[in-house]
Every structure is written in C-alpha cells, then in structure tokens.
C-alpha cells in the first residue's frame, strides 16, 4: 500500500467527497458505560506516554475502568501478537501503524470495523470530518475503517545551529552536502557528527527517505529492487554515514537513544522522528540552539516519509462500545489540541490552524521550523516504509538486516542486498 499525503486544501475539498456524513447522537452520554473495564495496549513512545499521562481524565469523564498495558514498541507488538493469535479478549484498544501492519492485521481479522461507531455514535464536539481523508483512507481496508488517526509524523533532521556556525557550515541542502557536513563536523568538533537509527528493526523508518531520495524503490516489476544501483547507493550512503560519523554502538540505536544523545548535547545532527520534538526540547536547552529541516534531497529528488499512528479496537474485545468511548476521548479535538502543545503534530487541520497552537509555535523559532518541516512531509511525503505487501512488517526485517550487515562489516553492499533480495522475493511470492 502506498499513501501520499497531499495539500491541506486538497484534503479539505476531498473530505466532503470521500467521507460519509456523521450522525451525532442527540443525547450523547459519556457515562453510558460506567463501571465497565477496558484494557489499552500502549506504545511507550512520546505519543503513547502523553495519552496515558492524561488517562485519569478519561476515567473521571466516563466512569469506565481503564487498564493500561504499556511496552516499548517491539514488545508491544509481541504482546499484541500473542493476544490476537489466541483470539483473547485481554486487549480492547491498541495503537497501530496502518502503514506498517495495516494490511497484515486487516487480513488476519484483528481490527474491529468502527465505521458504524464513527458515523452514528459520536459526541457533539467530536468533529469526525475534521480528519484528512488520506489519513482515514490509510486506516481503511476492504471498506472497513480500522482505526482513528492520532497524529502525523515523520523523520526530520535536527541540527545544532551553534556548532554549524562555529564550524562555518550551512544547513545541508542535498544528501551530498549532508555527507560533507558530517565530515567537516568530524574534524571540527568532538560531538557525534550524525546520528540515526541503526537497530535493524527500527532502521526502515529512517532509511526509507534515503532510498527514495537516491532514486531507489523497493519493488520493480514485482521483484525486490534492493540490488538496483540506486538502492545500493542508498544502502551505502546510510550505512557509511552511521559507521563513519555515527555514535559508538549505533547498531543498537532507536529513537530513545537518539533523543538522549541529542538532548544531552552530544550529537551535532540527528535524523529522527518528529514525535521526539517534545522529549528533545525537554528542559529548554535545545530550544535555543537547534534548527529542523526535512531530509535533504538527493539525485531522485525529495520524497520524505510521513506516517501516522491510529487507535484501533480489537475484533476480540468484549467491550467494543466502551472501547469506542476511549477512542473518541483520545482522538477528540480537545485531547489532540493538548497533545499538539506537547510536540505531537495534529491530524486535524482545525487544530493546526487554532490560535493556541499558532501562539505556541510563535514562542520559539525551532517550533515553527518543526511545523514547517512537517507541512512539507504532509504535502509531499510517502508512507511506503518496507514492501507494499501484507507481510510488510517482515519485509522490514530484511531491509534492516541489510543495513546492519554493512554496519557490522558482514560483506559488501552487493552481498548484503543480494541476501535481502533473496529473502524478500520469497516473501513477495508467498504474499
């Protein structure tokens, strides 16, 4: 599945055409499921942490007993796999990435169809039509709506303006300039010149933009294309940057390590999730010395990555009605406006245009840069991370392993991509 997020003007126009009208209940009762118990399986990323931090408000509003089960991303998915394969009702709501596992989970029948809920059982202030249609379509499979958008995100380049100035450098405008900047920083400063994800399961999120910007693609004529010249160049570029200019132990780096390194002032450039903006700026030190831009363009142009988390209800839930109330609360305008002020980019255009959000952006130049960079992602980005097949999550493992092999010196790029292509072509054939 390939999804491109288009301009806000397009989204506003298309929404009226693509999404059905919503019937608001005349007397919506937030206490209708008081006393019921639901379990939320959360990712402990910044978005999940912020929702959980406000969960007492949901309990007070609804009288619903909310149990939170929170794990780091890989462990969260392992827990979900265990529960779903057992057809257990232990989980009612879970966080999901439609761009990653949407086709797989929908094919397995793990998502409840929430179309009827969002069309006929919403609170008066929910504004179900406030979401862009691209986000809603990304969570729709075979006509079933599987989730509600929580955010818009993508990897961005955070860099230290003070260090760049000290070293006489400009913001890199191309991938070649990014490499040159890393080399210059290596000679000019003791900071890690460039940091990004090196942990194999996490690599595809940041590598995808490099692949597209180098002119590569995952598949061509129904076959894996990681050994095409452009893809080999992308694999070489990404792994060389991390091996030559990245932090020690980068093969173990995901978003937590990247954020800690940059926030502590120990990396000069960090290519990582826009969702990490809040944690990076925690304490205020980096507010004064950071600038943010999308990944610089390459020979293939500029094709950044943009995705969004959703909240879904398990098809095995014993309390889907109460679970729907949690989805409404967590994805409603009030909560998403609150999350926006914590550095979670809102999936609702009305929030992005609100006075409070605009005022928050104006308080700091880097906040506005963060928003502007996300606008570029929303208007020009692609959600294709890994192969557009049902087994997308497994395809990512082979992409990440190819990068890890190069970081660890396990053969040449030709050997690494060949191993990946063999496994990926078998996966494509099976799909």
Domain ranges of the chain: 8-152+307-365, 155-306+384-430
Strand 290-293's sheet: what is its strand order?
269-273, 155-160, 290-293
Can you say whether the dihedral through the CA atoms of 407, 410, 411, 415 is positive or negative?
negative
Spans of the chain, pLDDT less than 50: 1-25
What is residue 48's predicted lDDT score, i.e. its pLDDT?
Answer: 96
- Predicted confidence at residue 133, as pLDDT, reads 79
Question: Helices in 159-228 by DSSP H: which ranges?
Answer: 161-166, 175-188, 203-213
Please check whether residue 306 is in contact with residue 377, taking contact to mean a CB–CB distance below 8 angstroms: yes
Q: What pLDDT does residue 135 have? A: 81
Q: Distance between CA 286 and CA 281 in Å, rounded?
A: 5
Instruction: Select the CATH number that applies to the domain covering 8-152+307-365 from these four: 1.20.120.1770, 3.40.190.10, 3.40.50.300, 3.30.70.20.
Output: 3.40.190.10
CATH of domain 155-306+384-430: 3.40.190.10
pLDDT of residue 131: 87
What is residue 8's predicted lDDT score, i.e. its pLDDT? Answer: 33
- Per-residue pLDDT, 11: 29
Q: Determine the pLDDT at residue 22.
A: 47
pTM score: 0.88
- In this prediction, residue 5 carries a pLDDT of 32
8-152+307-365 and 155-306+384-430: identical CATH topology: yes
Rounded Cα distance between 427 and 422, Å, is: 9
Residue 41's H or E segment, with its range, is: strand 37-43
Task: Report how far residue 163's alpha carbon sits from residue 188's, in angstroms, rounded to the nearest whole number.
Answer: 9
At 75 the pLDDT is 95
The residue with tokens 């007993």 is 65
Residue 132: its pLDDT value, please? Answer: 77
């Amino acid at each position: 599945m390939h999804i491109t997020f288009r301009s806000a003007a397009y989204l506003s126009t298309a929404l009226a055409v693509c999404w059905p009208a919503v019937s608001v209940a005349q007397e919506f009762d937030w206490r209708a499921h008081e006393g019921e118990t639901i379990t939320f399986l959360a990712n402990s990323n910044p978005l999940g942490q912020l929702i959980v931090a406000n969960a007492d408000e949901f309990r007070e509003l609804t009288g619903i007993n909310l149990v939170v089960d929170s794990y780091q991303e890989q462990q969260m998915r392992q827990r979900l796999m265990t529960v779903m394969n057992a057809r257990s009702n232990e989980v009612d709501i879970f966080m999901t990435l439609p761009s990653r596992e949407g086709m797989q989970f929908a094919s397995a029948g793990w998502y409840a169809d929430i179309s009827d809920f969002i069309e006929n059982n919403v609170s008066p202030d929910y504004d179900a039509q406030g979401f862009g249609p691209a986000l809603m379509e990304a969570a729709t499979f075979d006509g079933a709506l599987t989730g509600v958008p929580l955010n818009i995100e993508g990897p961005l380049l955070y860099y230290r303006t003070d260090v760049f100035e000290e070293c006489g450098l400009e913001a890199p405008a191309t991938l070649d300039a990014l490499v040159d900047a890393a080399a210059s920083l290596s000679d000019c400063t003791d900071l890690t010149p460039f940091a990004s994800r090196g942990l194999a399961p996490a690599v595809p999120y940041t590598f995808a933009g490099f692949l597209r910007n180098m002119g590569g693609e995952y598949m061509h004529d129904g076959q894996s294309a990681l050994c095409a010249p452009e893809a080999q160049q992308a694999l070489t570029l990404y792994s060389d940057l991390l091996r030559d200019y990245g932090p020690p132990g980068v093969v173990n780096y995901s978003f937590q390590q990247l954020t800690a390194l940059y926030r502590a002032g120990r990396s000069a450039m960090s290519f990582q999730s826009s969702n990490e903006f809040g944690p990076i700026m925690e304490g205020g030190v980096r507010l004064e010395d950071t600038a943010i831009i999308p990944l610089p363009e390459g020979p293939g142009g500029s094709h950044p990555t943009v995705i969004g988390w959703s909240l879904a209800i398990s098809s095995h839930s014993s309390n889907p009605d109460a679970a729907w109330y949690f989805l409404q609360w967590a994805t409603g305008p009030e909560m998403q406006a609150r999350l926006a002020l914590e550095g979670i980019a809102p999936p609702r255009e009305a929030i992005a245009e609100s006075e409070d959000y605009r005022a928050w952006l104006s308080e700091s130049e880097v906040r506005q840069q963060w928003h502007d960079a996300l606008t570029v992602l929303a208007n020009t980005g692609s959600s294709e991370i890994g192969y557009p097949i049902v087994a997308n999550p497994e395809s990512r493992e082979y992409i990440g392993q190819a990068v890890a092999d190069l970081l660890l010196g396990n053969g040449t790029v030709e050997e690494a991509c060949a191993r990946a292509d063999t496994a990926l072509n078998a996966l494509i054939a099976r799909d």
